[in-house]
Structure 1
Amino acid sequence: MSKAADIEIAAVSKVYGTTTAVDAISLKIPAGSYCCLLGPSGCGKTSTLRMIAGHESISSGDVLLGNVNVTDLPPARRGTAMMFQSYALFPHLDLVDNVAFSLKMKGIDKPTRRREAMEMLKLMQLEPYATRRPAQLSGGQQQRVALARALITKPEALLLDEPLSALDPFLKIRMRAELKKLQASLGMTFVHVTHSQEEAMALADLIVVMNDGRIEQAAPPRAVFEKPATAFVARFMGDHNVISGRIVERRANGTVIEVNGGGKFFALGQPPATQETADIAIRTDHVRLRASDSDTLGLTGIITNVEYLGATVKLSVNGAGVEDFTVVIDDADYFAKPVKPGEAVPLSWVEADAIVLGRLGE
């Protein structure tokens, strides 16, 4: 395999008519890392991937692979390979010819390309199926053929567009582990588009959360999970409650906000002096049901929903000025003292679990 390369996106935009799909984003993806572009539908993640690949023209800005500016190069000359969501396998060709197709296009002789295709099928544990056609394979096997076909060109970076979306939940988890193992063994730069938070957390060294054509946060999974940069990231990752309110007090170590219902909440951190409002985030799994002597912060609310999720139970609570507040607790803790929708409950958390969130453009 060829060596991995850094990918640098410098002030890249994509404009379709009057719509800006990607808005002047800049990002450096280190060589040999597994990067996930994560966000809801229409956030610009697939357009970004396609611009790196050369399948989409860039309206402004540059893409660099290693130290080579590839902005105006066609896909075949970029040193990247793309694996599409649909796999795009040729139904009339067997696996060897499917995998060897790009080598055939490059004019490489038949014995060489077939030998290299067999090596790739071996890497993907598909050697016994070499003479089969795609329709005779399972979804997971088809995906591995598409991977082999992309990797045979020995790219510096592999670009994957929602590669697991067509698989059933059990196979998704298995293929996730295979992708991670493959990327680690090849040491190649992988850039993977997904709308699944769980998938991104499981795979990535670097998660890039996108929204409305811009990057909200680019950080390792743990940082995105524990310290979301913005209210959007906190809500999208689903592991924090977000409370918005007016700033009523600024302290040395934090900020007090007041919500419409009159409740006041303290969080660590300082928003810019020009801001009159702030968003604060509280980890859903660090909220305790019922007040505790060691906890200094909290609220009282009415339970609106209870979801049993196996190892945990998810509770939805509405309080004065605070709606859809989520609490995730261990199943054992919940069933020791269960609560039902309609009950009023006190909730509490420690000071360290409430943080002030930043906003874009600060």
Structure 2
Amino acid sequence: MSQPAEIDIISVSKKYGPTTAVDAISLKIPAGAYCCLLGPSGCGKSSTLRMIAGHESISQGDIRLGGKVVTDFPPAKRGTAMMFQSYALFPHMDLIDNVAFSLKMKGVEKGERRARALDMLKLMQMEPYASRRPAQLSGGQQQRVALARALITDPEALLLDEPLSALDPFLKIRMRAELKRLQKNLGITFVHVTHSQDEAMALADLIVVMNDGRIEQAAHPREVFERPATAFVARFMGDHNVVSGRVTGHRDGLVTFEVPGGPELAAVGRPMEAGRAVDVAIRTDRVRIGAPEQEGFGFTGIVSNIEYQGASVKISAAGAGIEDFTVIADDTAFFARPIVIGEAIPLSWAARDALVLGRLDS
């Protein structure tokens, strides 16, 4: 089995004519890490993955794999394997021949390649289906075969392009656990493209949030969740409200700021000059319905939407200078004192649950 490889992306850009899909990104993915490239459609994550694989040329910059510059190497010489979103299995071949195909292309003798393919199918718990063709399998089973085919080349890094997107919600959760188990057992570097925040949080030990061809934040999932680096990350991860205003001062480790047409609030942050524009993230699950307690902050909001989510209720509200604000309330507390759309409610939080965010232009 190959040793896992560190992947080093050095000032890499990808341009399609006048359009910049990936804009001078730099990133180190540690050997043996499970890295998820996360972001909305068109943010550059799939282009980045394809450049690592060698399926897309690099307009500028370099990619190192295990300390070796692979920028100009063809895919087969890089030590990576790629699993495509469509799985791309050959419909006329049985599973053994599908999995063994890359070995056949390398001239490996038939008996050896079929034996190795059967070992890979065992690893994926697909041995009983070895003589079947892809059309006779479920989506989850096809995915396992595609994984076996990618891994038979003994790669230093496995690259996965939205591998769970075609599966139903129940199967997605099962396959997430399978991917995590597989990566831990094999110990190789996984780089996984997804637009699902839940998927990235469940799988990764390194989340790379991308937007408009750039990296907004690359960190452990807990860091991304608890300390989003920018307003985009806070909004995209969906667990923070973002409130914008102008700095009015600083006291006791808190930045005070004024929301245009709204209240003066405070958040944890380093001293900043008065009058500077600032974005502040406030955890949705730390907001309470009720007047601020001592050292707390808040405003009165008009409820615009209510969504029951089982263990919790998502309440959307708007107030002076604050257009879109979310509260995640415990279902028991909500139904003990129900709220209706159009109602004015006091919302509050502790200053420590508000965080000054960075800005890409600052």
Pick the TM interval, shorter chain. over 0.9
Describe the SS at the equivalent of 2:302.
strand
Partner of 1:251: 251
Partner of 2:346: 346
Task: Measure the CA separation in 2 of the matches of 1:21 and 1:310.
Answer: 39
Determine what percentage of the aligned residue pairs are the same residue.
Answer: 72
1:120-150: per-residue Cα shift (whole Å, max 9, x none)?
Answer: 0000000000000000000000000000000
Partner of 1:171: 171
152-161 or 266-275, which deviates more: 266-275
Partner of 1:37: 37
CA contact (8 A) 2:248 2:275 kept: no
Partner of 1:75: 75
Task: Measure the CA separation in 1 of the matches of 2:184 and 2:273.
Answer: 45
CA contact (8 A) 1:100 1:114 kept: yes
206-215 or 268-277, which deviates more: 268-277
Cα deviation for residue 292 of structure 1 reads: 5.1
Across the aligned residues of Structure 1 and Structure 2, the Cα RMSD in angstroms comes to 1.2
1:74-130: per-residue Cα shift (whole Å, max 9, x none)?
Answer: 000000000000000000000000000000000000000000000000000000000
Task: Measure the CA separation in 2 of the matches of 1:216 and 1:241.
Answer: 17
Cα deviation for residue 260 of structure 1 reads: 2.1
Cα deviation for residue 274 of structure 1 reads: 9.0
Cα deviation for residue 270 of structure 1 reads: 2.9
1:311-333: per-residue Cα shift (whole Å, max 9, x none)?
Answer: 00000011001011000011111
1:266-306: per-residue Cα shift (whole Å, max 9, x none)?
Answer: 11103754972000000000000112535611111111111
Describe the SS at the equivalent of 2:198.
helix
Task: Measure the CA separation in 1 of the matches of 2:194 and 2:171.
Answer: 16
Task: Measure the CA separation in 2 of the matches of 1:256 and 1:301.
Answer: 20
253-262 or 17-26, which deviates more: 253-262
Task: Measure the CA separation in 1 of the matches of 2:300 and 2:333.
Answer: 19
Say if 1:271 and 1:209 are closer, same or farther in 2 by CA, change over 3 A: farther
The aligned runs of 1:199-214 (5 Å cut-off) are 199-214=199-214
Q: Give the counterpart letter for 2:111 in structure 1.
A: P
CA contact (8 A) 2:289 2:345 kept: yes
Partner of 2:318: 318
Say if 1:177 and 1:84 are closer, same or farther in 2 by CA, change over 3 A: same
Partner of 1:355: 355
Query: Does residue 191 of structure 1 match 2:191?
Result: yes
Partner of 1:64: 64
Cα deviation for residue 262 of structure 1 reads: 2.9
CA contact (8 A) 1:13 1:59 kept: yes
CA contact (8 A) 2:287 2:328 kept: yes
Describe the SS at the equivalent of 2:173.
helix
- Normalising by structure 2, we get a TM-score of 0.98
Partner of 1:92: 92
